[in-house]
Amino acid sequence: MSEVKHNTLEPLGSLSMTDRVENILREYFTENGFKPGDSLPKEMEISQKLNVGRNVVREALSRLRMLGMIETRPRRGMIMAQPDLLAGIEKVLNPLLLSQDNLKDIFELRLILEMGISEFLFARKTDKDLAELEDIVSKQKDAVVVSKEEEVAFHGKLYEMTGNDTFKRFQNLLMPVFEHVFTEYYDKGIHRDIPNPVTHHDLFVYLKQGTQEEFRKAMYQHLEVYFKTITAR
């Protein structure tokens, strides 16, 4: 185990000893091609080889454990594990803590994702999915303004229909932040003044019977009030 080589002398900045040990360990795993299930050196061995205190090593390992990169198994000790891709992002999605720039970015990211899924929806839609979606929209009575729960039910079903679990989970994570930011914009006077609003029911009909181009155009119109904010600022 050796630390990153420095070609130039740069300030170590705010890197603590724990940050450095964490970085060294992740680099060590990558460079040695560790795979899930592989046994890892013990805490004490790492402490001795790196010549750092056990408390520091324990903290660094605890961070990796949080990300799902390592696990401790009875009788086997510490092993490499399959990390949870979204564990970190899930933990920090607190609108009160994120910067305004981050919140704006997340707001826009949902729009990008929402506009990018039509290929997947048309490639993977099934009769069963469409029946479930019809059930969801029939309860919304072709309303232009729906409740937060109805919004989540409809768009959440679309995310599920992409057949991509990570995407589905990611979009669902972003939703509360999206709500938070939109409420701010809404309060600033961007209102639902679209002349011919496209409802969830309309989107369902295009997805069932229309072309992919028609569906995508309708989705744009459905989200138009949000798209207005990307050029309005």
Site residues, a second copy (CB under 8 A): 16, 18-19, 22, 26, 29-30, 33-36, 55, 58-60, 62-63, 65-69, 80-89, 91-94, 96-99, 101-102, 105-106, 108-109, 111-120, 123-124, 162, 164-167, 170, 213, 220, 227, 230-231
Instruction: Kindly state the tokens that stand for 26.
Output: 């992740």
Nearer to a second copy, 119 or 142 (CB): 119
Distance of CA 2 to the CA centre of its chain: 33
Give the residue from 213, 113, 224, 95 showing the smallest Cα distance to 168.
113
Instruction: Kindly state the tokens that stand for 228.
Output: 């207005």
For the chain, state the CA radius of gyration: 24
CB 120 within 8 A of CB 137: no
Nearer to a second copy, 70 or 137 (CB): 70
Give the residue from 48, 174, 56, 205 showing the smallest Cα distance to 110.
174
Task: Count the Cβ atoms, other than its own, within 10 Å of residue 138.
Answer: 11
Instruction: Kindly state the tokens that stand for 196.
Output: 């011919």
CB 115 within 8 A of CB 213: no
**Least distance in angstroms from the C-beta of 214 to a second copy:** 12
Nearer to a second copy, 17 or 143 (CB): 17
Instruction: Give the three-state DSSP class for 16.
Output: coil
Nearer to a second copy, 93 or 143 (CB): 93
φ/ψ (deg, to 5) at 162 = -70, -15
